[in-house]
Structure 1
Amino acid sequence: MKNDVISPEFDENGRPLRRIRSFVRRQGRLTKGQQHALDNIWPVMGVEFNDAPLDFAALFGREAPVTLEIGFGMGASLVAMAKEKPQQNFLGIEVHSPGVGACLASAEEEGVQNLRVMCHDAVEVLHTMIPDNSLSMVQLFFPDPWHKARHNKRRIVQPPFAELVKSKLKLGGVFHMATDWEQYAEHMLEVMSSLEGYRNRSESNDYVPRPESRP
């Protein structure tokens, strides 16, 4: 696995650009199990960042609906969903290698075959590797709330990001978000309500309860 979760960006004069990012990369120590998974399972289930669109049928060896999860943490719920829905394909993106290792180890233990993972900036992956109109669902569970006012601009849920996600969803696809921070929930609702092309699935046009399908 390459150690390059962020691709360098430069202006026309060759000066590096600084894009506001929604994450701070914290490199924790890998457990032996996580390292084993990165060494042995990553070559099978890992996807390196590449400046070319993915062919999902080739990646998974079949045609099936694709769910993309952004920021899967240690991967417990993602692996559980993939195991529960073998008829679907799942792609997870996480920037922290211990989480990627833990997810891979869990997938191996559970015998999950319909899951692939990446260790890279999800916004770059969406821009570069995810074909338009290709995803059935995008999941964003408990992103960093950046609760201090001066850091609110770092929140991943912003109009440009939501528009980018929309371009990758098939017609009728779902962008499913969850947070346990009330102010972020209000921010999410405000952003999504300001955009055309999305329909809130809440009957009261605000929030929906946690679905039974989510572990």
Structure 2
Amino acid sequence: MTDGQERAWADLAPRYVLEAPRDEAATSVRPGAVISPRDVWGRDAALIVEVGSGQGHAIIHAASSRPEDDFLAVEVFTAGLARTMLNAEQAGIENLRLVEANAPEVLAHLLPAASVTELWVFFPDPWHKNKHNKRRLVTAEFASVAATALRDGGVLRLATDWEQYARQMRDVLDAAPEFTRGFEGDWADRFDGRILTAFERKGARAGREIRDLAYVRRSRT
């Protein structure tokens, strides 16, 4: 991290960062380490979780424009979380928390079942080489933990600029029994709550089309 990011972590982490009990790895979450969203945010409100939040551009914009909702940014890169905290402080945001941890473990072990209203997966690493495809986040296993964390009627929103990955995401979630499509046709309309980031502009300049998906958590009964 830069000196500024180091200072941000020291000064702002007590205010913004959730300390997750660890398992063996530095970014793991120990099973049974579940939090109470009401205790963390001090109220009962819709909870929106972004996994792979990067430097926080999307979730900062959302948290500032939706003060009635609560937000959690999940990221494994400390520098990105530090930048997110700096921007949150500058914007006076109070309804955002961050956790430095692996996303599937946050969904499986840290968040209570059926506690999440929306789950965002925007531009995850495409691991575009065939030999690396197995490292992709969105798999049948991820769909299962996402379904556990989402409340009935909750929405899983995804976006990517890699067509092959978009098709894999769609195949995985179409096959997941806990989800139903929240769109008609091949792809969902662009999610209005997703701001245009520099990362997205870079993909567009390279000629890659942005594809959105949205899936609704089926009722458990």
What interval of TM-score do these two structures reach, taking the shorter chain for normalisation? 0.7 to 0.9
Contact 1:133 1:171 in 2 (8 A): yes
Mapping 1:145-160, distance limit 5 Å: 145-160=126-141
Who is 2:9 aligned against? 38
Q: Are 1:93 and 2:64 counterparts?
A: no
CA distance in 2, matches of 1:163, 1:123: 10
CA distance in 1, matches of 2:17, 2:176: 34
Query: Relative to total residues, which structure has the larger strand share, 1 or 2?
Result: 2
CA distance in 1, matches of 2:176, 2:71: 26
Q: Are 1:199 and 2:176 counterparts?
A: no
Who is 1:49 aligned against? 20
Who is 1:114 aligned against? 95
CA distance in 2, matches of 1:99, 1:201: 30
Q: Are 1:142 and 2:123 counterparts?
A: yes
CA distance in 2, matches of 1:150, 1:211: 31
CA distance in 2, matches of 1:152, 1:116: 31
- Aligned alpha-carbon RMSD (Å): 1.0
Who is 1:214 aligned against? 194
Question: Which aligned segments of 4 or more residues in structure 1 are displaced greater than 6 angstroms?
Answer: none
Deviation at 1:163, TM superposition (A): 1.0
Q: Percent identity, please.
A: 36
SS of equivalent residue, structure 2 residue 88 = helix
Aligned length: 185
Deviation at 1:197, TM superposition (A): 2.2
Moved more, 123-132 or 103-112: 123-132
SS of equivalent residue, structure 1 residue 177 = strand
SS of equivalent residue, structure 2 residue 155 = strand
Contact 2:108 2:149 in 1 (8 A): no
Contact 1:132 1:167 in 2 (8 A): yes
Unmatched 5+ residue regions in structure 2?
Answer: 22-29, 196-221
Deviation at 1:128, TM superposition (A): 1.2
Contact 1:33 1:105 in 2 (8 A): no
Superposed CA offset, 1:161-187 (max 9, x none): 101100110000001011011110011
The AA in structure 2 aligned to 1:213 is: G
Q: Are 1:184 and 2:165 counterparts?
A: yes
Superposed CA offset, 1:160-215 (max 9, x none): 110110011000000101101111001101111111121111111x3112122222
CA distance in 2, matches of 1:66, 1:105: 22
Superposed CA offset, 1:14-67 (max 9, x none): xxxxxxxxxxxxxxxx12321121011110110111241110000001110101
Query: Relative to total residues, which structure has the larger helix share, 1 or 2?
Result: 2
